[in-house]
Amino acid sequence: MADAFLPPDIHIAHLFVVGVAVTAARAGPRPTALVGGLSVLALVAAGTERGTLTTESVLVELASLGTLGALLVVFTHLRQRRTAELCRVRSVSEAAQRVVLRPLPERAGPVSFALEYRSAEADTSIGGDLYAMARTDHATRLIVGDVRGKGLASISDTAIVLGAFHAAAHRDIALRELAAYVEDAVSWGLAEFSQGEEDAAERFVTAVMVDIPDDEPVVHVVSCGHPPPLLLRGAGVTTLRVREPAPPLGLGTVADSAYVPTTFPFHTADRLVLYTDGFTEARNAEGVFYPLAERVMAAANLASRPLVHRIAADVRQYAGGRLHDDMAMVIAQRDRAPIPP
């Protein structure tokens, strides 16, 4: 069409390659081959119309266009195959990650949950932060923890802690016995998969474990070197500091710790905010830490699920998008009054 309006000394047939290249960038091998074939036919038509089909210039253009089209078809075929392989690998990875870090149910017994989780590694749904829930006959138990390290490198330690918790949390044992069991299993697991004594000594997990009885308006808390939970009651926020904190998991056998729970009131409509230091250690441009308790109190009028989303968005904005650590936050709310046994 352009030849009909251009003088004979202007030849733009070499621009046919643009259509082939653009198609190859956005489509698969079949559309690329189709556009490449149409481009060659269009170049032949243009050369025939001008009477220059057999000239060296047009023959070189035809050979170049055909060769480039064939190479782009091969390229798009390889790219499509690699993309399919990547999708399969990603689906397997996501399935494996969901097995390790199981999603929380919306409700367990008289307690409902809201969750916000973010891995430091892009395109991964699990990292060094962890959470889990288990039901006993008369209580709901939670663990929120933070493995030393972040991202994919810490997944093995995350799996050890979650495996130990899931193996024992459903049993009808006291919270202190559960914490001692998890400590023993984590110490063994970290030592088993460590590379030398120095590596084993540097691997540990901070965690907080809570037990919410169905028949009492209380919550029992054991803290293993983890940031203290927040109790949200109405528009007020209270930091729940345990009386006898224990060392992080993996170091308890060294310190010969006794896991003594601290009991706090936990009434109907109260909310327990469990989190990792990815929230509290986020900094703004001036280097000031994120004031989590203040921001939670400011948004206390929101329901639990919008609240965790608001805090997650707020901390990203506070840090200017510079978040380099895993983050996990679980809000547990008692929805029903305790029922005496």
Residues 165-209 pLDDT 10s: 999 999 989 999 999 999 998 888 877 766 555 455 578 899 999
Neighbour order of strands in the sheet with 262-265: 129-135, 139-147, 205-213, 218-224, 262-265
* Closest CA relative to residue 225, chosen from 208, 248, 241, 244: 248
Question: Measured between alpha carbons, how far is 250 from 5 in angstroms, rounded to an integer?
Answer: 80
Per-residue pLDDT tens digits for 57-88: 888 888 988 999 999 999 999 999 998 888 88
**Highest mean pLDDT, choosing among 149-163, 184-198, 249-263, 325-339:** 325-339
Name the token pair of 191.
């030592």
Q: How far apart are CA 296 and CA 232, in angstroms?
A: 8
Q: How far apart are CA 181 and CA 145, in angstroms?
A: 16
